[in-house]
Amino acid sequence: MDKIAEKLNIEVNKEKFSGLFGEGMYNGKKMMLLKPSTFMNLSGESVCEIINFYKVPLSDLLVIYDDIDIDVGKIRIRPEGSSGTHNGMRNISDMLGSHDFARIRIGTGKPLEGIDLADYVLSNFSTEESKEIDNAVNMAADAVLEIMDNGVEKAMNIYN
């Protein structure tokens, strides 16, 4: 979210919708950015607040999140789908009552055998992984702009 905000010169600093919120314009379209400050597993509370307040159709929602089921540094864009193993996405889908919204998943890779999942997702990346994650974050930010300009399908063709 920070990279998108930086690219569009949008300040995401208002405490609103159980998170940090900012809004601006991109190519004549209003864009709202939200970084939930709830526990990750309760992200749906924050997302539902903004969706309900602004009456945003789910077709205009795009969720960006980390995913252990994708290799480190890769991104995957989908127009809809299940939450997979991600509890935060499960909460968003459950609270919205739908899986019908776009998402960009940023791969963090799976932990090695014997490493606790909670410890893994809270640990730091290696120097090489950090470079790959930074690249993926930049790609994801570019993909958001592509989605805004040309839709999810076009972004999928470019970035998946």
Q: For the chain, what is the domain count?
A: 1
Nearest Cα residue to 72 out of 158, 139, 12, 131: 131
* Domain harbouring 43, CATH code: 3.40.50.1470
Provide the β-strand partners of residue 67.
Answer: 107
Digitized pLDDT (tens) for each residue of the chain, 160 residues in all: 999 999 999 999 999 999 999 999 999 999 999 999 998 899 999 999 999 999 999 999 999 999 999 999 999 999 999 888 888 999 999 999 999 999 999 999 988 888 888 888 888 989 999 999 999 999 999 999 999 999 999 999 999 9
For residue 71, the enclosing domain spans 2-159
